Chain A
Amino acid sequence: MNISGQDFIYGCSAIGAGLALIAGIGPGVGQGIAAGQGAAAVGRNPGAKSDITSTMLLGQAVAETTGLYGLVVAIILMFVKPFG
């Protein structure tokens, strides 16, 4: 089987895109911790449920950013083909 240099670069880009999505681990752990702490806070102080929920969602949305950077890198590798 002959693999041209171009195909090799595309294959390596696909592998790189898969590796870039390892970045999803961090936000998963972070959002889980935030949700767990939020649940504990609601358990201690059920009256402040709305405040706790909005703060938790805001923090989670910001924590999600690093994972989304991984997604952007993967999308660029797959579709923009900067090395092809």
Chain B
Amino acid sequence: MRMMGLPMIESEPDFMIHGVLKYHAFGQELWISDTTVGAWIVTAALLVFACFVRKKLKNVSESDTPGLFQSGLEIAMEALENMTQGIMGANSRRFINYIGTIFLFILLCNVSGLFGLRAPTADFGVTFLLGLFTFFIVNYQGIKNRGFGHITSLFKPIPILFPINLIGEIANPISISLRLFANLLSGVIIIGLWYGMMPWFAKIAIPAALHVYCDLFSGAIQTYVFCMLTMVYINDKME
């Protein structure tokens, strides 16, 4: 088993997270890893894109004919609105910002394998954090909308089911984060094994198909599933 940060050994598959920079804080030895750098790059790309869109669309008036760029953005926005409206109904206006944000972040993280990064979502630290966001939003909405009924709903329909209901609540963030993590990790492992172990002629055109399936298709589906389940969990607590 190689340690973190050592140079890659040839002809051995490489799909682990590597440390980039070691530092000490709070009495711990901490690493800035591939994941951190990848997440920074993704965030920077999203910020640049956001500034670009703002600059481009700030001075648009209603009488202008929308160009290709604006039309594309409006179609994407409409798709996002339809997606949230379909699940959350009247509450969708309040959560469309959050859902859109995590959708863009996860999608860009998932497809970043195409650009040579190790996908940041193939690290359980990232996906578990996203799952925790969902968990806190769900419970905040539950307490806000139902008050004490949020606690007593754990004892329904009969009190003896309390442990099972509690486990069911706690398992939600773990299950959605593990689902995203394991899908991306399996893609990273398959592509890493192919690049690391196959002879040179097998690396010519076949990895393109693997990238299309593991990065684009699987990544897009899992992004959709994550956002969908987040909305379903939130919507359960809204009435």
* Chain A contacts to B: CB under 8 angstroms: 57-58, 61-62, 64-65, 68-69, 71-72, 75, 79, 81
Check B117 for interface membership: any CB of A closer than 8 A: no
Task: List residues of chain B with CB within 8 A of the CB of A69.
Answer: 178, 182
Contact code string B177-192 (vs A, CB < 8 Å = 1, else 0): 0110111011001000
B224 touches A58 (CB 8 A): yes
Q: Is the interface of B mostly helix, strand, loop or mixed?
A: helix
**Contact across chains for B182 and A61 when beta carbons are under 8 A apart:** no
- Given contact pairs A65-B175, A79-B1, A72 touches B182 in the complex (Cβ within 8 A): yes
Asked whether B183 lies within 8 Å of A68 as measured between CB atoms, the reply is: yes
Q: How far, in whole Å, are A61 and B227 apart by their CA atoms in the complex?
A: 13
* Cβ A64 vs Cβ B1 within 8 A: no
- Taking a contact as CB atoms closer than 8 A, the residue among A58, A71, A75, A81 that contacts B225 in the complex is A58
Q: Does B132 contact A (CB under 8 A)?
A: no
A64-B185 in contact given A57-B221, A58-B224 (Cβ < 8 Å): no
Say yes or no: B222 contacts A61, CB within 8 Å: yes
- CA A75 to CA B178, docked complex, whole Å: 13
Is B228's beta carbon under 8 Å from chain A? yes
CB distance from B161 to the nearest CB of A (A): 23
In the assembled complex, the Cα of A61 lies from the Cα of B229 at a distance in Å of 11
CA distance A64 to B183 in the complex (A): 9
Q: Is the interface of A mostly helix, strand, loop or mixed?
A: helix
A58 to B231 CA separation, bound complex (whole angstroms): 14
The answer to whether A68 and B221 touch across the interface, beta carbons within 8 angstroms, is no
A75-B185 contact in complex given A61-B222, A62-B225, A69-B178, C-beta closer than 8 Å = yes
User: Which single residue of chain B is at the shortest CB-CB distance from A57?
Assistant: B221
Quick check: B178 and A61 within 8 Å, CB to CB? no
Interface band, chain B:
10 to 19
Within 8 Å CB of A81, what residues of B?
1
Q: Which residues of B contact A (CB under 8 A)?
A: 1, 16, 175, 178-179, 181-183, 185-186, 189, 221-222, 224-225, 228-229
Closest to A68 in B: B182
Which 5 residue pairs spanning A and B have beta carbons closest together? A68-B182, A61-B225, A65-B179, A72-B182, A61-B221
A51 to B30, CA, bound (A): 47
Whether B178 pairs with A68 at a CB distance below 8 angstroms is yes
Within 8 Å by CB of A68, from B16, B179, B229, lies: B179
Taken together as a complex, chains A and B put the C-alpha atoms of A36 and B183 apart, in Å, by 23
The docked-state distance in angstroms from the alpha carbon of A58 to that of B221 is 8
With the chains together, A75 CA to B16 CA distance in Å? 11
Chain B residues contacting A57 (CB-CB under 8 Å) are: 221, 224
The answer to whether B1 and A65 touch across the interface, beta carbons within 8 angstroms, is no
Taking CB atoms, residues of chain A closer than 8 Å to B189 are 75
Interchain nearest-CB distance for A36 vs B (Å)? 19
